[in-house]
Amino acid sequence: MCIADQSFSELSEILRFYLDEDKFGLVREAYLFAKDAHEGQYRKSGEPYIVHPVAVAVILANMKMDYHILMAALLHDVIEDTEVTYQLLADRFGSTIANLVDGVSKLTQIKFRTRAEAQAENFQKMTLAMAKDPQVILLKLADRLHNMRTLGSLNFEKRSRIATETLDIYAPIARRLGINSIRTELEDLGFATLYPMRARLIKKAVEERRHNRKEIVSEIKFSLEEKMQERGLKGVVLVRERHLNSIYQKMKKMSFQEVMDIYAFRVVVESEDDCYRSLGVAHSLYRPRIELFKDYIATPKENGYQSLHTTLIGMHRVYIEIQILTADMEAHANNGIASRWVYDTRMSETPTHNQSGVDRWLDGLMQINKFTGNSLEFIEHVKTDLKVNRGEVRVFTPNSEAIELPAGATAVDFAYAIHTDVGNACVACRVDKTLYPLSSPLPNGVVLEIITASGARPSPAWLDFVVTGRAKSSIRHFLRHQKQAESVELGRKLLKRSLKSFDKKLSKISEKQRERVARHNQSSCFEELLEEIGLGNRMPFIIARQLLSDELRAADDTADIDKDARTSALTIDGTGGLVNIFAKCCKPIPGDPIVGIMDSGKGMVIHSETCDQVVRSGSQKQQLVYLKWKKEDITNEFAVALRVVLEWRRGIIAELAGAVAMADSSVEKISVKERGAKLSFVNLIVHVQGRIHLARVMKRIRNMRAVTSITRIRN
């Protein structure tokens, strides 16, 4: 018997325990097809390639997965590595299996510029396939697990890259989906690959401690079993062995001795009621630490995990951690979402409470994909959501639905977890019926209510404090769309102004002529061309000439594009925006004569007319846009730089800040530039609403006895 058939024989022994003959026959047919397709292909280890797909199927068979997943496992590399096409696979085995295989196949036909881009594109493809059908990731996790088991034949660089990717992406996905039977082994293999010496030392220390712990472990186990029997409770008490990566992560916060002084058990009973009765048994034997008690039966984790967690103080002041759950809960704890496809134990088509959290996360992946600009941005947002070292907080909706968020998450993260529209319209929140800041991290276990308002929109400042990938991608998408709308509007104003120089109106230009000019400038439509003008990538006077090219005579080429520029200046309301940016060099404020400079890709940067930047751009009048301030009151505050020369004495800085405050202003920054025996030079940045307000601030400062002079710094 060849190696390939020997490996399939091992799979057959497992399958005959739970598959009927018809289903087993279909799996065997898939094996023979894959074996023929991979004929002549070998792994780095020298084994026939077919050994790998069979090993992946064995991993899934040990989880008692249904036959169609096993068939897809055997066929999972035929599209990527052989001449077999998607259509051929669909014709032979059906579209369901062909879609699963296609979902885990890499994009081999596309040439990528970098390895990072290739990884991101392939991950995005797989993730979207997973969001549509989670069986795809189950296949990929089993595939990755066997690859991690057989890394030995690869060079160090490739082993390290695969192990890092496993710990960053695949193990966290398995955790998120509750597939702990695969997650723990992926973490241990990844840890041992990246840190072989640390793994060996921890493993050796654990084995040495195991013998020393045996007596205490046996005593605790016997006490629990005896007390449960007295209460008429049927169940099994299991000793939980910590895996290497878990010990290593805990050692970042405590010593190895402290980690090993915690004794972990799992109690498996027959019913949910027995779980709570067994909890009473445990608490009657040992003193509980109530603050560490967790009831995941009443409020399951988002991946569907259910159990009672309690921490006790036993004899010799050792800590005892106990998980109490039913056999069904234990199966779900090991297999997570994979429990949906266990053969002959199919769950209802209607998602249960246990499934809703996973489904919400999968839906979130689709939202992140929808709102990200490219695959590299997508993978970074997903990695953000998958990070596990930050811990978690559980908060509740007013309808008592539990939502899990990373530690440090804010009300804005919560709002986007509910729905993108809720996040976009969020203006305030209540925590336990009390108003709470949107930017503050959420406490654990609170009830959260989001207050929305029509017309509200996300603030760019939110990106400074949100932590979830879904919130970040949704906010960035909205801001990109908003910037696009602002760019189009600014481009329209600039083009109208340029056309006015020729005594023409945009409304008089035909739609046909607009589209012709748009195509000439490689824009898909006229609105896109307006956006390019607003961003400073196209000069409005050139586009104006092109629009009028059929109407102007050669003599018009000498037309003064600056004609009536000041009288037709654009109006600025002081709020700035995503494409109207106030220059930091001269810091213009309402009342200053101002001019705009078109900056390619950014939009219009607003400067004071006397700014050095404007003087340097004077020879390129096409770049300049004359502006004027809106006549109505402007309530926004603007930063202004001031230099104060004063006599130095103790407490003078506090006096200076007090004078600014008395003028209804505030200090953003203050620094002592030069300090002599008598006089010191102090630079400060204050916030004002315009020149009149600035004059009031400067007068207050000038009236200080210690002040010799005060001037505004313009550049």
Q: Catalogue the active-site residues.
A: 80-81
* Residue among 192, 273, 282 at smallest CA distance from 237: 282
Amino acid at 712: R
3-state secondary structure 676-690: CCCEEEEEEEEEECC
Query: Cβ(416)–Cβ(474) under 8 Å?
Result: yes
Query: Cβ(653)–Cβ(682) under 8 Å?
Result: yes
Residues in the chain: 715
CA angle 189, 191, 192 (to 5 degrees): 65
d(CA 482, CA 578): 8
* Block residue for tokens 């989670």: 134
What does DSSP assign to residue 342? B
Written as six digits, the tokens of 278 are 């067994």
Torsion of the alpha carbons at 692, 693, 694 and 697, rounded to the nearest 10 = 130
Amino acid at 471: A
| Cβ neighbourhood burial of 400 (10 Å; 0-12, 13-18, 19+) | exposed
d(CA 371, CA 700): 50
- Reduced to 3 states (helix: H, G, I; strand: E, B; else coil), residue 438 is coil
Question: Which residues touch 196 (CB under 8 Å, ≥6 apart)?
Answer: none
Written as six digits, the tokens of 270 are 């027959």
- Reduced to 3 states (helix: H, G, I; strand: E, B; else coil), residue 530 is helix
Half-sphere exposure of 479 (CA within 13 A, CB side): 17
d(CA 267, CA 276): 11
Run of H or E including 405: strand 402-406
Query: Cβ(645)–Cβ(680) under 8 Å?
Result: yes
Amino acid at 692: I
- CA 498 from centre of chain: 43
